[in-house]
């Protein structure tokens, strides 16, 4: 093993060293100071499986990701990257995307057979491994642990932002995701709960988005 190879292994973001503190991660700021302060590295981890579990569709869950998506698309190092949408519950509306600062020309919508999760999982794995996407958003229901582990590995290989939207009913299901958050309407906006956060804070952020 050469010195360069050893250095590469030691600097791998998934490596934990005793006495070295928390895991090293590449991140993109979420755009919400209260959330970034509670995430190791100060943002959404890249190359990791992130699960978002909203109480229902359309409560503002996409607003949670808009600042990060804008940052990723504006990064010169990712100038050719796509944002892939896998089986979205609603077809992304181009004028609304443009108004939110996301170029419709860099959106890729993939909608395989909805009744069979197999094609959707396969497409999601390919999108994550391709390195052609700066971010991948997918809406899938209950998945076996084996499928979730494959997705986690694919996210690690590709290094993009991976957001997997799942029903709130999946909250108690085991998952290899590094980060899991749930969303629900509150009295004065959207409440966010960090359910799982490898190496960081878990708990509620009330009135997170208004």
CATH of the domain at 119: 3.40.50.300
Q: What is the pLDDT of residues 134-152, one digit of tens each?
A: 999 999 988 899 999 999 9
Tell me, yes or no, whether 85 lies in a domain: yes
Structural domain for 172, as ranges: 23-209
Tell me, yes or no, whether 203 lies in a domain: yes
Question: What's the rounded Cα separation, in Å, for the pair 117 and 67?
Answer: 29
> Is-above-0.85 flag for pTM?
yes
Residue 112's pLDDT is: 74
Domain count within the chain: 1
Start-to-end C-alpha separation, the chain: 54
Q: Given pLDDT bands bounded at 50, 70 and 90, which one contains residue 25?
A: low
């Amino acid at each position: 093993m050469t010195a360069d190879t050893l250095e590469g292994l030691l600097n791998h973001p998934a490596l934990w060293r005793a006495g070295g503190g928390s895991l090293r991660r590449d991140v993109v700021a979420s755009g919400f100071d209260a959330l970034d302060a509670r995430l190791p590295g100060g943002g959404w981890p890249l190359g990791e499986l992130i699960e978002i579990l909203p109480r229902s569709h359309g409560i503002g869950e996409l607003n949670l990701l808009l600042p990060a998506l804008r940052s990723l698309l504006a990064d010169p190092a990712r100038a050719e990257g796509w944002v892939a949408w896998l089986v979205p519950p609603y077809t992304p509306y181009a004028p609304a995307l443009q108004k939110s600062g996301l170029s419709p020309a860099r959106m890729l919508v993939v909608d395989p057979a909805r009744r069979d999760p197999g094609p959707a999982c396969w497409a999601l794995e390919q999108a994550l491994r391709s390195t052609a996407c700066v971010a991948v958003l997918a809406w899938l229901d209950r998945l076996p642990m084996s499928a979730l582990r494959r997705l986690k590995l694919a996210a690690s290989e590709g290094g993009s932002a991976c957001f997997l939207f799942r029903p709130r009913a999946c909250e108690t299901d085991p998952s290899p995701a590094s980060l899991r958050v749930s969303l629900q309407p509150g009295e004065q906006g959207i409440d966010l709960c960090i359910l799982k956060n490898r190496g960081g804070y878990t708990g509620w952020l009330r009135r997170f988005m208004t």
